[in-house]
Chain A
Amino acid sequence: MSSLERSEASTSSGFNIDFKALGPFLALVGLFVLGTGINDAFLSGGNLSNIFTRAAFIGIIAVGATFVITAGGIDLSVGSMAAFISGAMIVVMNTLVATLGAGIETVLIGVVLSVLLGIAAGAVNGLVSTKGKIEAFIVTLGTMGIYRSLVTYMADGGTLSLDFDVRGVYRPVYYGDILGIPVPVLVFFAVAVAGYVLLNMTPFGRKCFAIGSNEQVARYSAIHVDRVKTLTYVIQGLCVSVATIIYVPRLGSASSSTGVLWELEAIAAVIIGGTMLKGGYGRIWGTVIGAIMLTTIGNILNLTDAISNYLNGAVQGLIIIVAVFLQRGDWRRKKSK
């Protein structure tokens, strides 16, 4: 919410740069400068489009996570959910080839299935935690295991591969572009804009903020707390399904290792972007930048020999901790309590 940011800015004495809001953006710029310095190839069109396309998966999922976290919840099941949905899509599309052939219809049915499964899986997370009054952490830890083992079961412990012909039809969704911009990036942008409008400009978004900052106050303000919270998980599920729809044509397969640790990357993107893990304050654009930052780090490590690629996770972890530390903003002030 811009007014909150403004108040932060106006109360911090001295020069009026709002570090809290701009922090992630400045850090991203820093990373780009670093990347360019390390390797000229960094700024090449091919590399940049690669970064943004990869950021799209985590980014789309993280937009959904921004809703869940702003409303005071958490969803650990997104990676497994993505694996499960890809698996189900592949199985169904492969089966349909026999009757419908490997055409657009088959892919469309796969896409619709993905959306329905995403909504259903999100609703399960939301309803079990609100109606059952169980911590979201526990519920989604449970469904994380459930969704993951469902895909392992479908794949019989191996790998599910998409029918070769369907793959050809489906391919443009990942590899295609419009006016030179890759489709995944366009979808990411559209999801982010929709997320921004929903979170910042609608009554629903306002209710998410209210619930995350104090559930009791929200309840006393005649807000259907359970309904709004459940909806945030449904939005999360929908985002996972959209990300999956883009992901399936990329690899053309799903296995028990699909989407492993995506939940951590998504949550990291949200937190780097300035959303508060304890709820009550969320920023979609921050999340978008967070997702791009995470992929950029991986990309830079690929382009340099200075740090082993295997240390990608360590560098990401470090960046998350530093980002949150900087955002807290009180490192500039003296300890006040």
Chain B
Amino acid sequence: MTDAAVHAVNPDQQARVRLSGREICKSFGPAQVLFDVSIDLHAGEVHALLGENGAGKSTLVKILSGYHQPTSGALSLDQADVTFEDSEVAENHGVILIHQELNLAEQLTVEENIFLGREIKRGWFLDKAVMRAEAKKLLDQLQCDVDPRTRIKDLAVSDRQMVEIAKALSKNADILILDEPTAVLTGREVDILFDQIRRLREQGVAILYISHKLDEIKAIADRVTVLRDGRLITTEPVTDVEKDDMARLMVGRDIKQMFPDRAPVEAHDVAMSVRNVSVDGQVRDASFDLRRGEVLGFAGIVGAGRTALMEAIIGLRDRSSGEIERNGEPVSIHSLQDAKKCGIAYLTKDRKGSGLLLNMDMRPNLTLLALEKFGTVILNRKAEEAALANAIEAFDIRAADPKAKVGDFSGGNQQKLLLAKVMETDPEVVIIDEPTRGIDIGTKSQIYHFIGDLTKRGKSVILLSSEMPEMLGLSDRIAVMAAGRITGILEGNDRNEHEIMRHATGISGKQGVSVYE
């Protein structure tokens, strides 16, 4: 157990190796995903783990925390060999992993989740009052004002992530591993999380931190380890590597151009107009034109109504008023099927919950949205296989085993498959919600170029994103929403962070300013 009173950054402390993995190899069936990877976690240090999607980061940390067994190689804790038969053994040794995918029981409340399996009891009964107070304290520490009695299913994803973090904190970790905790967090929440990480570091906790956001790595990490294709590339102090170096080490090449070049579009050639669309309680009177071949960004703080507006346009949500025109003709869209017929496709931001069938392989996933293309009476399996081969090629989907369930794919490859699925309907208008959540920098650039190519082929794209560089780098124009209204559509030199923030927060509003940092 670490003494909480240890003074910060004392050099001996820094060098104290807590948990280490030696020459770890891991195979899933015939596919080997880790090759002789060694890593040391030091007390009082934040160690960042970097790598492309599918590099094996999650697999490595699952081995370090007892969720997987290494195929070969060994773990040691405080210089003594150790085996974690399962995650419970690892937790008893103080090793806690916060998973990349949220692992909460949806039907249970926040407090029940935090104390799941470790319920506080008085006599034979649960001591609910104490657990509620404890949960409240933990959440307060994270400045997260959700009621401990709320059910998880009623929480936004970012709040769910904060609950995961609270749960991990409550376990008094000695060695804390966070697998992409910030993928779903807003800027303010990231700041709070970093404060907590710094506090733990000062208490001597060894922290392993995975993220695709290189700014974050620069801000929080002491050392970085880079994995590529399951192999250890390097471990260095963070001060010795610049962001460009990190990207190059991860990808194995220079990323020359992050964003595609944009060509000017004809202002009068309108692919879709949205007129006075309202959704009860979420969107008020939204109107805009989408020009052919443009990327129209939609910015706004969380809860501004962007997703609600898009879902209303494609018929997934009831409109209380409003019309939609395609190529100047009014169209009637009341379901996703209608939207599909009008050539409008929607790429969901929730790729696991509403995008992909995780228990199936790639082929049924790819063709699901465009099923009628593959036969109205009998499905043409050959055509499906051919479409899959095309998609793997066109979207550069890299799967160790193409017949594996897509749930076992890395995030980036899932995202590319989702994009391929949506494009299989050959839509004219594509609405893309958070296309790069949890995606590595190389793949991000690839996805940006896919989007650029779409517009070159005359497709029109609506982009929803909470990442400012993405918004600015991809969009020709940016519509900003606040409290359910479109407060401005920015063009030319107005397309900048300052103007976006001004419109996103109203004139006086300050809350959420750090959403874009």
List chain A positions with a Cβ less than 8 A from chain B. Answer: 1, 3-4, 6-7, 10-13, 197, 201-203, 206-207, 209-210, 213-214, 216-224, 280-281, 334-337
Asked if B30 and A203 sit within 8 Å, CB to CB, the answer is: no
A12 → chain B closest CB, angstroms: 7
Secondary structure class of chain A's binding surface, majority of residues: helix
Which residues of chain B come closer than 8 Å to A206, judged between CB atoms? 364, 367-368, 371, 379
Say if the beta carbon of B267 comes within 8 Å of chain A.
Answer: no
| 16 cross-chain CB contacts under 8 A | A1-B364, A7-B361, A7-B401, A7-B404, A10-B29, A10-B401, A12-B29, A206-B371, A207-B371, A213-B360, A217-B353, A217-B355, A217-B357, A217-B368, A223-B368, A337-B87
B337-378, CB < 8 A from A: 337, 339-340, 346, 348, 353-361, 363-364, 367-369, 371-372, 374-378
Q: If the complex has contacts A11-B401, A11-B404, A210-B364, are A217 and B30 also in contact, measured as CB distance less than 8 A?
A: no
Q: Verify if B184 is at the interface (C-beta below 8 Å from A).
A: no
Known A-B contacts: A210-B368, A223-B368. Give 10 more (CB < 8 A): A4-B360, A7-B404, A11-B30, A202-B379, A203-B372, A220-B355, A280-B359, A281-B359, A336-B68, A336-B86
Contact A216 B401 (CB under 8 A): no
**A209 to B364, Cβ gap below 8 A?**
yes
The 8 A CB mask of B374-395 against A (1 = contact, 0 = none) is 1111110000000000000000
A-B pair count, CB < 8 Å, reads 101
Distance, CA A224 to CA B28, complexed state (A)? 37
B401 near A203: Cβ-Cβ < 8 Å: no
Interface SS of chain B: loop
With a cutoff of 8 Å between Cβ atoms, the chain B residues found around residue A1 in the complex are 360, 364
CB of A227 to closest CB in B, whole Å: 10
Q: Which residues of B contact A219 (CB under 8 A)?
A: 316, 336, 354
Q: In angstroms, how far is the closest chain B Cβ from the Cβ of A275? A: 13
Please indicate the chain B residues that have their CB under 8 angstroms from the CB of A280 in the complex: 357, 359-360
| Shortest Cβ gap from B86 to chain A (Å) | 7
Task: Name which residue of chain B comes closest to A220, CB basis.
Answer: B354
Shortest CB–CB separation between residue A230 and chain B, in angstroms? 16
B128 contacts the other chain (CB 8 A)? no
Is the CB–CB distance between A220 and B360 below 8 Å?
Answer: no
Cα distance A297–B335 when bound, in Å?
A: 50
Give chain A residues whose Cβ lies under 8 Å from the Cβ of B199.
none
Central interface residue in B29, B348, B374, B405, by most chain A CB within 10 Å: B29
Shortest Cβ distance from B315 into A: residue: A222
Point out the residue from B86, B346, B356, B376 that lies within 8 Å of A203, measured CB to CB.
Answer: B376
Quick check: B30 and A220 within 8 Å, CB to CB? no
B67 within 8 Å of A (CB atoms): yes
Q: Is B118 positioned at the interface, with any CB of A under 8 Å from its CB?
A: no
**Cβ contacts under 8 Å, A213 to chain B:** 357-360
**Closest B residue, CB atoms, query A278:** B359
Question: Could you tell me if B368 and A11 are in contact, using CB atoms closer than 8 angstroms?
Answer: no
Which residues of B have CB within 8 Å of A222?
A: 335-337, 339-340, 369
Give every chain B residue within 8 A of A197 (Cβ-Cβ): 378
A221→B361 contact, CB < 8 A: no
**Smallest CB-CB separation from B369: which chain A residue?**
A221
Task: Tell which of A3, A13, A218, A220 has the most Cβ of chain B within 10 Å.
Answer: A220
Chain B residues, Cβ within 8 Å of A337: 67, 86-87
How far does the Cβ of B59 sit from chain A's closest Cβ, in whole Å? 13
Most B CB atoms within 10 A — which of A10, A214, A334? A214
Chain A nearest CB, measured from B416 CB (Å): 17
Given known contacts A202-B379, A203-B379, A7 and B405 CB-to-CB distance under 8 angstroms: yes
CA distance A128 to B320 in the complex (A): 27
Let me know if B253 is at the binding interface, CB within 8 A: no
Contact A13/B30 with A203-B375, A217-B356 known, Cβ cut-off 8 Å: yes
User: In whole angstroms, what is the CA distance A207 to B377 when docked?
Assistant: 13
**Is B403 among interface residues, defined by CB-CB distance under 8 A?**
yes
Q: Decide if B353 touches A216 in the complex (CB within 8 Å).
A: yes
A216 to B348, CA, bound (A): 11
Report which of B28, B357, B361 forms a contact with A214, defined as CB distance below 8 A: B357
B100 CB to closest chain A CB, in angstroms?
16
Q: With the chains together, A197 CA to B378 CA distance in Å?
A: 8
Which of B335, B353, B359, B363 gathers most chain A CB within 10 Å? B359
Query: A220 to B331, alpha carbons, bound, how many Å?
Result: 20
A221 lies within 8 A of B368 (CB): yes
Q: How far is the CB of B316 from chain A (nearest CB, A)?
A: 8
* A335-B30 contact, Cβ under 8 Å, with A203-B372, A206-B371, A219-B354: no
CB distance from B464 to the nearest CB of A (A): 15
Q: With the chains together, A331 CA to B339 CA distance in Å?
A: 47
- Asked whether B403 lies within 8 Å of A3 as measured between CB atoms, the reply is yes
* A-B residue pairs, 8 tightest by C-beta: A11-B29, A7-B403, A220-B354, A222-B336, A221-B368, A216-B354, A221-B369, A203-B371
Chain B residues whose CB sits within 8 angstroms of the CB of A221 once the complex forms: 336, 368-369, 421
Distance (Å) between the CB of B514 and the closest chain A CB? 31
Residue in chain A with minimal CB distance to B378: A201
Bound Cα distance A220, B357 (Å): 11
Within the complex, the shortest CB–CB distance from B341 to chain A, in Å, comes to: 9
B354 touches A10 (CB 8 A): no
**Bound CA–CA A280/B360 (angstroms):** 9
Residues of chain A with a CB closer than 8 A to B340's CB? 222
Contact call B359/A6, Cβ cutoff below 8 A: no
Interface residues of B in 84-134 (CB under 8 A from A): 86-87
Q: Contact: A335 with B86, CB < 8 Å?
A: yes
Kindly report which residue of chain A lies nearest to residue B381, judged by CB atoms.
A201
Q: Which of A206, A209, A217, A224 has the most B CB atoms < 10 Å from its CB?
A: A217
Q: Which residue of B lies closest to A7 (CB)?
A: B403
Q: How far, in angstroms, from A200 to B65 measured CA to CA in the complex? A: 40
Closest to A6 in B: B403
| A337 vs B91: C-alpha distance when bound (angstroms) | 13
Q: How far apart are the CA atoms of A35 and B424 in the complex, in Å?
A: 53
Across the two chains, which residue of chain B brings its CB closest to A218? Answer: B368
Contact: A11 with B28, CB < 8 Å? yes
Separation of A135 and B160 alpha carbons in the complex (Å): 27
What residues of chain B lie closer than 8 Å to A7, measured between beta carbons? 361, 401, 403-405
- CB-defined contacts of A13 to chain B, threshold 8 Å: 29-30
Query: Which residue on chain A has the smallest CB distance to residue B368?
Result: A221
Chain A residue at smallest Cβ distance from B340: A222
CA distance A206 to B378 in the complex (A): 11
List the B residue with the shortest CB-CB distance to A280: B359
B68: chain A residues within 8 A (beta carbon): 336
Give A63 to B336 CA distance when docked, in angstroms.
Answer: 31
A210 touches which of B69, B357, B361 (Cβ 8 Å):
B357
For residue A12, which residue of chain B has the nearest CB?
B29
Cα of A213 to Cα of B357 in the assembled complex, Å: 7
Q: Bound state CA distance, A222 and B345, in angstroms?
A: 10
Chain B residues positioned under 8 Å from A203 (CB to CB): 371-372, 374-376, 379
A interface footprint on B153-178 (CB within 8 Å = 1, 0 otherwise): 00000000000000000000000000
Smallest CB–CB gap between B347 and chain A, Å? 10
* Interchain CA distance A6-B404 in the complex, whole Å: 9
- A334 to chain B minimum Cβ distance, whole angstroms, is 8
